[in-house]
Amino acid sequence: MAFRGGAKRSLGSFLCNRVLNTSYSSSSTCTASAAANGRGFSTWVSSRRSSFAQAKEIPTSIPLKFANTQCGSALFLRRFSVGTSSSSSSDQMSLIKQLRERTSAPIKDVKAALIDSNWDIEAAQKELRRRGKVLASKKSSRMAAEGLLALAQNESKAAVIELNCETDFVARNDIFQHLALALAKQALLVESSSQLVSGVFHIPSEDLEDLKLNLEHPKVSGETTVQNAITEVAAVMGENVKLRRGIVMSTNSHGVVSTYLHTSPQPGLGRIAGILSLSVEDKNSQLDAIQRVGSQLAMHVVAAKPLFLTKELVSSDALESEREILKSQAESTGKSQMAIDKIVEGRLRKYYEEVVLMEQKFIMDDTLTVKKLLENLSTEVGSPVKIESFFRMEVGEGIQRLEASSASENLAQAI
């Protein structure tokens, strides 16, 4: 064992001397006096600096007498500079992460803004907002058919707004959802200056845009106008964000407003909304049963998609159009005119059951019609109960059709 240890030390000394001799002989700038003073080591490092790993491994194989002051300084500077670069890179990654958390902007944009701002996070945040607003204005013409409906409600009134975006991904973002809920609360405060249609007030988006809005989200906060808040969120999201429409439904002191939201990611938000107002003649009637049935009927409105409240309210244009369609279908059977008339009348009754709320079968009990359900409710509370108005809203309804119509028109003009 002793012999082996001695052999290893001898072999190590031999290799060390061999390396040093080779280094000195291969260096064209090395002089005899420099070799004698041990300065050839510094020249050897500088002439073979292929990698830092090679340089830092050398002192472990060289006797201490060759590790002169110049060599130690060179290696120390190299190690120091590498360590500083690593630390700087870590700080930059930390700044990127912080700014990303503050703004929710894409990482690519966050990094570019930090670089342009010399890694000043406050300046970079301002730059991101400026760039985002410019891009938002450019994207305002792009179609926004996704989004959410937001609902706000009190004892006698309910408001629903539709906030659109380009993708479902943005609709799931908490900043977008916070804005939608804030807009619904603002719509609930709007007085009924718009045109009254069967208890439903339609609020044009222009009437909301100049109103003040107070956002309390960590990433988008402060008091601003509705229009500026939408632009701000569009800048953060990188998509076209648009307030499309809003409605408010109210009832008298003897009734209730019932609502239902379908596909709801959180309370007050959804993709389809059903709103229904019920009134009762006796103001002393218990409202609990009315509220219960009202919630069920609001769900029925979402599922059954009624177009009219009663048969008398079916528009003459819709009725004549349906009659012509049914008559054409019946004539294709080749039957007599009397048989055709009976077929048309029978199918019109079926049409009423499909589009008239009071004639529809109740979705929770198809042995009852909505009319019969209200009769049973009136008996339960001891006073006549009736539906004043209803409304159904769905995200993006009509937008695709309008886009297709516009495309067809452009094609016709091109031809």
CATH number of residue 113's parent domain: 1.10.8.10
Whether residue 275 is contained in a domain is answered as yes
Query: Tens digit of pLDDT for each residue in 186-207?
Result: 999 887 644 444 478 888 888 8
- The answer as to whether 401 is a domain residue is no
Residue 219 placed within a domain: yes
Q: What is the CATH number of the domain that holds 177?
A: 3.30.479.20
Number of structural domains (the chain) is: 2
Question: 259 and 390: one domain?
Answer: yes
Q: Does residue 300 come out as left (phi exceeding 0), alpha (psi in the -120 to 50 range) or beta?
A: alpha
Residue 257: what pLDDT? 94
User: Is 338 domain-assigned?
Assistant: no
Residue 387 in domain: yes
What's the order of all strands across the beta sheet hosting 196-197?
196-197, 200-203, 242-250, 157-165, 146-153, 269-270
The average pLDDT across 134-143 equals 59
* Contacts with 222 (C-beta within 8 Å, 6 or more apart), sequence order: 214, 215
Same-domain status, 249 and 193? yes
Q: Are residues 159 and 211 in the same domain?
A: yes
Domain boundary among 140, 156, 180: 140
Decide which of 89 and 132 is more confident.
Answer: 89
Q: Say if CB 385 and CB 278 are below 8 A apart.
A: yes
The most confident of 22-36, 104-118, 276-290, 358-372, by mean pLDDT:
358-372
d(CA 264, CA 5): 77
Q: Residues 133, 182: one domain? A: no
* Shared domain check, 183 and 295: yes
Q: Does 207 lie in the same domain as 134?
A: no
| Residue 15: its H or E element | helix 2-26
Domain boundary among 105, 122, 140: 140
Is 5 contained in some domain?
no
Is 31 a domain residue?
no
Q: Kindly state whether residues 116 and 132 are assigned to the same domain.
A: yes
Same domain, 156 and 184: yes
Query: What is the b/e burial string over 59-87, where b = at least 16 CB atoms within 10 angstroms of the residue's CB?
Result: beebeeebeeeebeebbeeeeeeeeeeee
Q: Report the distance separating Cα 106 and Cα 236, nearest Å.
A: 9
**Domain containing 100: what range?**
92-140
**What pTM was computed for the model?**
0.65
**Type of residue at 4:** R
Do 112 and 179 lie in one domain? The reply is: no
User: Tens of pLDDT along 344-382?
Assistant: 888 998 999 999 999 999 999 999 999 999 999 999 999
**Tokens encoding 85:** 């670069």
Q: Are residues 254 and 387 in the same domain?
A: yes
The reply to whether 111 and 191 lie within a common domain is no
Q: Average pLDDT of 221-241? A: 87
Contact (Cβ atoms closer than 8 angstroms) between residue 294 and residue 387 = no
DSSP states of 202-252: EE-HHHHHTSEEEEE-SSSEEEEEHHHHHHHHHHHHTS--EEEEEEEEE--
Do 270 and 131 fall within a single domain? no
Classify residue 47: in a domain, yes or no.
no
